[in-house]
């Protein structure tokens, strides 16, 4: 029954996160932590699910015209190698939980700030800032086992570099390449994956398809922000309850 509940949570997380261009790693990590999954299994499992859901979200948002290559490539250029390096590092279980807690604490901060963002004209992106931020986000993403969307999305919105829907499309593609890099970096240290992973993959894929379709074509900007706020609450549950 615990596995069934966890599978249902993964479906819900994938649906919710993909509707805003995210893949759900922080939510998967929170759910697995609450279920008592070993930390060395959590990271590669979350990255595996992330790759699938981010791929689905990328395709859906791209087809809906919510993507900007000029906005995507500077962040991806430096994030990919640094995500690989972060994925190569295996933290002690206690340290991993502490770092993950800090990441989710930042997500909690986003809960109060992202909903207050008001629409503003798009500004020209700073290439230097994008390259530096891409490297930092990529390394932290690979280290923790997330795709980095929880960091990239508020940056794009706060700096006025993208609208709500455009940032969702860029974040989805960014999460996809980061998750791939982090996973391949983690392969050397990979010990095992849960035997129930195929069921979680099915749940994540179905949730990702439904959520990405809703977010890219049917939800307006205000609805996306409200869903994003709910996404952040889900992520913070790990910090408060584990």
174 near 23, Cβ under 8 Å? Answer: no
Q: Sorting pLDDT into bands at 50, 70 and 90, what band is 41? A: confident
Mean local confidence (pLDDT), 152-164: 82
- Residue 35 tokens read as 């279920």
Q: Sorting pLDDT into bands at 50, 70 and 90, what band is 75? A: very high
What is the percent of the chain where pLDDT is above 90?
25
Phi-psi category of residue 169: left, alpha or beta, with phi > 0 → left and psi -120 to 50 → alpha: alpha
> What CA–CA distance (Å, rounded) separates 99 from 90?
12
- Average pLDDT taken over every residue of the chain: 79
Mean local confidence (pLDDT), 214-228: 61
Question: Looking up tokens 């919105």, which residue turns up?
Answer: 157
Residues 6+ apart with CB under 8 A from 234: 13, 16, 26, 27, 30
| 227 vs 38, more confident | 38
- Residue 80 tokens read as 């990919």
> What CA–CA distance (Å, rounded) separates 192 from 213?
33
What local confidence, expressed as pLDDT, does residue 239 receive? 43
Give, as one character, the DSSP assignment of residue 148: S
Q: Sorting pLDDT into bands at 50, 70 and 90, what band is 136? A: very high
Largest separation between any pair of C-alpha atoms in the chain? 51
> What CA–CA distance (Å, rounded) separates 97 from 156?
27
Give the relative orientation of helices 39-63 and 164-186 as an angle to the nearest 10 degrees: 140
What local confidence, expressed as pLDDT, does residue 236 receive? 54
Quickly list DSSP for 98-110. HHHHHHHHHHHHH
- Residue 60 tokens read as 């859906």
Mean local confidence (pLDDT), 3-12: 89
């Amino acid at each position: 029954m615990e596995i069934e509940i966890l599978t249902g949570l993964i479906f819900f997380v994938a649906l919710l996160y993909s509707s805003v261009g995210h893949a759900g790693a922080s939510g998967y990590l929170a759910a697995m932590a609450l279920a008592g999954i070993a930390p060395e299994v959590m990271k590669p499992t979350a990255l595996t699910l992330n790759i699938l859901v981010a791929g689905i979200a990328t395709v859906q948002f791209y087809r809906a015209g919510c993507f900007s290559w000029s906005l995507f490539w500077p962040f991806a250029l430096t994030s990919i190698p640094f995500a690989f390096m972060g994925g190569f590092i295996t933290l002690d279980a206690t340290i991993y939980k502490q770092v993950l807690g800090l990441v989710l604490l930042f997500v909690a901060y986003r809960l109060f700030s992202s909903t207050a963002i008001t629409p503003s004209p798009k500004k020209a992106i700073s290439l230097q800032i994008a390259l530096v931020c891409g490297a930092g986000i990529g390394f932290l993403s690979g280290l923790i086992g997330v795709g980095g969307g929880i960091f990239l999305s508020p940056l794009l919105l706060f700096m006025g570099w993208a609208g709500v829907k455009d940032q969702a499309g860029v974040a989805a593609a960014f999460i996809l390449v980061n998750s791939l890099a982090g996973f391949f970096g983690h392969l050397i240290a990979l010990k095992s994956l849960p035997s129930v992973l195929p069921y979680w993959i099915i749940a994540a894929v179905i949730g990702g398809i439904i959520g990405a379709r809703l977010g890219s074509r049917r939800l307006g900007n205000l609805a996306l922000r409200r869903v994003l706020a709910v996404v952040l609450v889900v992520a913070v549950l790990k910090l408060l309850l584990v």
